[in-house]
Amino acid sequence: QVRLQESGPGLVQPSDTLSLTCSVSGSSINKVEYYWGWLRQPPGQRLEYIGSIYYTGTTYYNPSLKSRVTISVDPSTFRYSLHLSAVTAADTAVYYCARRSTGWFYFDIWGPGALVTVSS
Amino acid sequence: DIQLTQSPSFLSASVGDRITITCRASQGIGSYLGWYQQKPGKAPKILIYAASTLYSGVPSRFSGSGFGTEFTLTISSLQPEDFASYYCQHLNNYSTFGGGTKVEIK
């Protein structure tokens, strides 16, 4: 059974970089059928796509966040990471990692989510 | 950018009711539309992809239809576990989501 789990600091200072890691169990990241993605959901708001990465390192980023986002992958450790720079209070959200189908682009397996608060 | 607009934002219904949620795209997206269910404090779950294909394990009371700019999610007979929020997603490399529909018990 494939499982994803987010980990990282729950509190980040304004202007700092938010860093989260997604640990994948039950599957290799080197699967041609999947991308590995990050999404977020501010309190009471809609889901927002952040970006996705293929095991080869190919990435797709949300254009509105692209200048501040880096997603990296290390298949050997079954992990991939999110770095979001220059954060503000508007980046406070529950952050999810999720597996994305390469065929129809849907997210079929999600981590439980990690609340990250941006505050001094 | 393609925008997705869901309606209604809130829906009150009773167990056994048939309900329909609409998602409208600002431009044609073919069949590249998915639907998710989300319960409070939980991650979303995929229900439907390709506008009308039921994801494995999802009950058959859920169905989707549509093409181009207008799509619908229908629950044929609402069950207690179906009271949740529902989101549509444009299925592409730069996924956008609709604003959500919260289904509440009447």
Residue pLDDT tens, chain B, 106 long: 899 999 999 999 999 999 999 999 999 999 999 999 999 999 999 999 999 999 999 999 999 999 999 999 999 999 999 999 999 999 998 899 999 999 998 8
Which residue is closest to B9 within chain A, CA to CA? A46
Average pLDDT for A5-12: 97
Q: What is the pLDDT of residue B40?
A: 94
Chain B residues in contact with A105 by the CB 8 A cut-off are 32, 34, 91-93, 95
pLDDT digits 0-9 by tens, A67-114 = 999 999 998 889 999 999 999 999 999 999 999 999 899 999 999 999
Q: What is the pLDDT of residue A75?
A: 85
> Which residues lie across from B64 on neighbouring strands?
B73
pLDDT range class, residue A17, cuts 50, 70, 90 = very high
Distance (Å) of CA B46 to CA A63, A89, B43, B100, B101:
24, 29, 10, 14, 15
Q: Do B99 and A110 touch (CB under 8 A)?
A: no
| A52–B contact, CB cutoff 8 A | yes
Which residue is closest to A115 within chain B, CA to CA? B41
pLDDT range class, residue A32, cuts 50, 70, 90 = very high
Q: What is the pLDDT of residue A77?
A: 87
Which residue is closest to A6 within chain B, CA to CA? B43
pLDDT range class, residue A59, cuts 50, 70, 90 = very high
Cβ-based burial of A48 (10 A; exposed 0-12, middle 13-18, buried ≥19): middle
Q: What is the pLDDT of residue B9?
A: 97
Residue A49 scores a pLDDT above 90: yes
pLDDT range class, residue A40, cuts 50, 70, 90 = very high
Q: Do B94 and A112 touch (CB under 8 A)?
A: no
Alpha carbon dihedral B83, B42, A49, A79, in 10-degree steps, equals -150
Residue A5 scores a pLDDT above 90: yes
Chain B residues in contact with A48 by the CB 8 A cut-off are 97
Q: What is the pLDDT of residue A20?
A: 98
Q: Do B97 and A112 touch (CB under 8 A)?
A: no
- Test the A interface: residue of B73, B94, B102 with most A CBs within 10 Å: B94
Return the DSSP state at A6. E
Rounded to a whole number of angstroms, the distance from the CA of B16 to the nearest CA of chain A is 27
| A95–B contact, CB cutoff 8 A | no
d(CA B64, CA B68): 13
d(CA B31, CA B98): 15
Rounded to a whole number of angstroms, the distance from the CA of B57 to the nearest CA of chain A is 12
